[in-house]
């Protein structure tokens, strides 16, 4: 796809991926690419990106409240205390993606992060944000990478620290979603100038 920003039904230019549903429009306009800080907030995004692996993002987006309810609002300390009974409860919860490996990783990652000092996850993730001046502004979807050197390095660093389900592509999706990079297209209304 080499499409640039397109006008939606409201006449506003947006990234083409955002135009298929109202859920996407709201997510695109209000969240995607906006800076996210805080260990719990970044842990939530890390988990949701891992659950998205192999699925459409809309599937995760529409179940986000179910995920938040199932995983104690993604409070790292609470999820770190989940028991085997909690994992079984999650496997039976129709409000989330019931994938045993992803559920196990979500709990295991919380246990790893619970041992980190407050603010360390935020600091570590944001240390991989590239210099915006060194990145060309994407004009079309073809200009938006799936993986970068920074996402590969972030993935490797998180894996070395014990975090699971975080490959370079997932790391880059996290970077996009959390505003470490601005991949809104040049003519998109949400592009920060």
State how many domains the chain has. Answer: 1
27 in active site: yes
Q: Which of 17, 31, 57, 126 is catalytic?
A: 57
Residue 82 lies in a domain: yes
Tens of pLDDT, residue by residue over 90-111, are: 999 999 999 999 999 999 999 9
For residues 42 and 122, is the Cβ–Cβ distance under 8 A? yes
Tell me whether residue 193 is annotated as binding: no
Q: Which of 27, 31, 104, 126 is catalytic?
A: 27
Q: Which of 32, 43, 44, 49 is catalytic?
A: 49
Residue 188 lies in a domain: no
Residue 126 lies in a domain: yes
DSSP letters, 110-160, are HHHHHTSPTTHHHHHHHTTPPPGGGSPPPSSGGGS-S--HHHHHHHHHHHH
- Residue 13, helix vs strand vs coil: strand
Say how many Å lie between the first and final Cα of the chain, rounded: 24
Residue 157 lies in a domain: yes
Whether residue 187 is predicted with pLDDT greater than 50 in this model: the reply is yes
CATH number for the domain spanning 149: value is 1.10.340.30
Mean pLDDT of the chain: 96
Tens of pLDDT, residue by residue over 5-17, are: 999 999 999 999 9
116 in active site: no
Question: What is the pLDDT confidence band of residue 2, given thresholds at 50, 70 and 90?
Answer: low
Residue 80 lies in a domain: yes
Chain center to CA of 10: 27
Q: What is the pLDDT of residue 11?
A: 94
Tell me whether residue 178 is annotated as binding: no
Count of all residues that appear for the chain in the document: 193
Q: Which residue range forms the structural domain that includes residue 125?
A: 4-176
Residue 110 lies in a domain: yes
Between 39-52 and 100-114, two packed helices, what is the crossing angle to 10 degrees? 160
For residues 176 and 32, is the Cβ–Cβ distance under 8 A? yes
Residue 191 lies in a domain: no
126 in active site: no
Tens of pLDDT, residue by residue over 127-185, are: 999 999 999 999 999 999 999 999 999 999 999 999 999 999 999 999 999 999 999 99
Q: What is the pLDDT of residue 1?
A: 45
Residue 193 lies in a domain: no
């Amino acid at each position: 796809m080499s499409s640039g920003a397109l006008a939606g039904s409201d006449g506003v230019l947006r990234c083409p991926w955002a135009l298929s549903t109202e859920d996407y429009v709201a997510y695109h306009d209000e969240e995607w690419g906006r800076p996210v800080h805080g260990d719990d907030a970044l842990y939530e995004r890390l988990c949701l990106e891992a659950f998205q692996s192999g699925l459409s993002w809309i599937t995760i987006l529409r179940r986000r409240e179910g995920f938040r309810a199932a995983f104690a609002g993604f409070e790292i300390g609470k999820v770190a205390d989940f028991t085997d009974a909690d994992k079984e409860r999650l496997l039976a919860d129709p409000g989330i993606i019931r994938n045993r490996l992803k559920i196990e990783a979500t709990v295991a990652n919380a246990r790893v992060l619970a041992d980190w000092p407050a603010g360390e996850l935020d600091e570590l993730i944001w240390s991989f944000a590239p210099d915006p001046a060194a990145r060309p502004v994407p004009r079309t979807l073809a200009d938006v990478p799936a993986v970068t050197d920074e996402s590969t390095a972030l993935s490797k660093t998180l894996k070395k620290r014990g975090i699971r389900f975080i490959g370079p592509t997932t790391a880059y999706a996290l970077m996009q979603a959390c505003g470490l990079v601005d991949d809104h297209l040049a003519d998109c209304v949400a592009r920060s100038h």
